[in-house]
Amino acid sequence: MTKIQVFEHQSISYTGRYAIPEFNQKQYHALESYFQKNERTPFFDLIPKGVRFKSYVGVIQIGDLVIEVLPKADRKRQSSASKETWQNILLDMLRTCELLKARQSSNANLGLKRNSILELYFILFLEELETLMKKGLIKKYKSHQSQQKSLKGALIFSEQIKRNLVIRSVFL
């Protein structure tokens, strides 16, 4: 399994200007086939022989390729130390901001490791599931007005008086 760390709005390719050794033509074709099936994906765009990532951070897994997209704040220094630093900062930001909802395009079958973004998404999912189990799903009543022989719900006096003065047989 190949793991690549990139920054937001960064481009990677298997040949040319944005070439990186971890990315090959087979992985590009896997991303290309995913993109053709999901053309409205908000996570990346295709460029000739490569991929340009959009303004989302997180993890993308397609086939044997795992791409971790980091915040673009320090992408000028593209060292592994800089990427590790921004990965830790991103994890801290996601842990601190409890209002963040993780977005996904499909189910991913990824292994978890210590201090990974995937682990954080898994924790967010479990916390949301626990909240739903405690509070329950939101239920809404359907608004329906009709003549009934017994009271169910709200009583609308003006409408009841108008209708019942005309139709007295309902209450006999």
Partners of 51 in beta bridges: 12, 46
Instruction: Please list, in sequence order, all residues whose beta carbon lies within 8 angstroms of the beta carbon of residue 127, skipping any fewer than 6 positions away.
Output: 98
pLDDT at 78: 58
Cα–Cα distances in angstroms (integers) from residue 106 to residues 23, 24, 29, in the given order: 22, 23, 18
Partners of 65 in beta bridges: 2, 62
pLDDT above 80: residue 57: yes
Looking at residues 16-37, what average pLDDT do you find? 87
Question: pLDDT tens for residues 79-124?
Answer: 556 777 777 777 777 767 765 555 555 444 444 445 567 777 778 8
The Cα 51–Cα 35 span in angstroms is: 10
pLDDT at 107: 46
| 83 vs 42, residue with greater confidence | 42
Q: Are 164 and 170 contacting, i.e. CB atoms less than 8 angstroms apart?
A: yes
Instruction: Please list, in sequence order, all residues whose beta carbon lies within 8 angstroms of the beta carbon of residue 85, skipping any fewer than 6 positions away.
Output: 74
| Domain ranges (residues) in the chain | 2-135
| 171 vs 138, residue with greater confidence | 138
pLDDT at 167: 58
